[in-house]
Amino acid sequence: MDSSPQPSSIETLPSPEPAAAAVPSPPDPAAIEELEAILGHRFAHPALLLRALTHSSLAHERGALELPHEDNETLEFLGDAVVGMIVAEYVFRQYPELSEGSLTRLRGALVSRRHLAVVAASLGLGKFLLLGRGEERSGGRAKTALLANAMEAIIGAIYLDAGLEAVRALIDTRVIAPVLATLRQQLGAADGMGDFKSTLQELLQARHLGQPDYRVTGESGPDHRKQFFVQVRVAGESVAEGEGRSRKHAEQDAARRAIEKLRTAEEPQ
């Protein structure tokens, strides 16, 4: 097992590594070996790893740079399915007493973009990404979406390179184990993990503040990787904003943030 730090929280990303050179280039062999050691997997087909690290912004510059590998979007698609299946099996076997709804909430937290970005950052994945010039200048190495997408692409690449058991080891130790116990405790708490909209509504009713109003403020990404952005408003005023892979997930994220904000305001200064 490598000694790189484990993710400590779904909510907090470690500090990003310094940006690399402005003109991107494939990692040197030493960097590839370093990343393989971190992942605990040596690739039989190194081209898969390079593809998993290549963002579409660089692929669009391929004509000028003449890079021999593709971008990682289709590997993201595969990795998303693989991590979802492995996580679902894990929580199903670990907690046979839970209902379908509770298992779904656990799985959703573990495969969320926010959590996968935390995992990617804990592995130092940002410094290995191959980005286009514009994405490099805009701080792409620290962006939640890019880190989460790259993590899924890495998972897809390991699956293609060595099969299900090889990628299961990475998912079990890096994605699931560090946070599962905490998530299970949250699931049993009074609020009920994932039911933040109901909790927010009860909180607002207790304070006589009216009903929350959720509004979609934007969407991004391709159809198979759509990201929604939602704002929750109370009495016409914006309280918090959230994001997620569906409108419902984005609303739950916005409600969670609103609850945190309201409860923080209650605490004595």
Q: Active site includes 33?
A: no
Cα 216 to chain center, whole Å?
A: 20
Element (H, E) at 31: helix 29-39
Residue where the block lists tokens 């946070």: 179
Question: Which residues, listed in sequence order, are joined to residue 263 by a DSSP beta bridge?
Answer: none
Q: Active site includes 223?
A: no
* Per-residue tokens: 255: 């409600």
Q: 71, 73, 76, 80: which is the annotated catalytic residue?
A: 80
Q: In the chain, which ranges are E strands?
A: 212-220, 227-234, 237-244
Q: 76, 135, 152, 251: which is the annotated catalytic residue?
A: 152
* Per-residue tokens: 25: 């280039």
Beta carbons within 8 Å of 71's beta carbon, 6+ residues apart: 51, 54, 55, 56, 58, 59
The catalytic residue positions are 80, 152
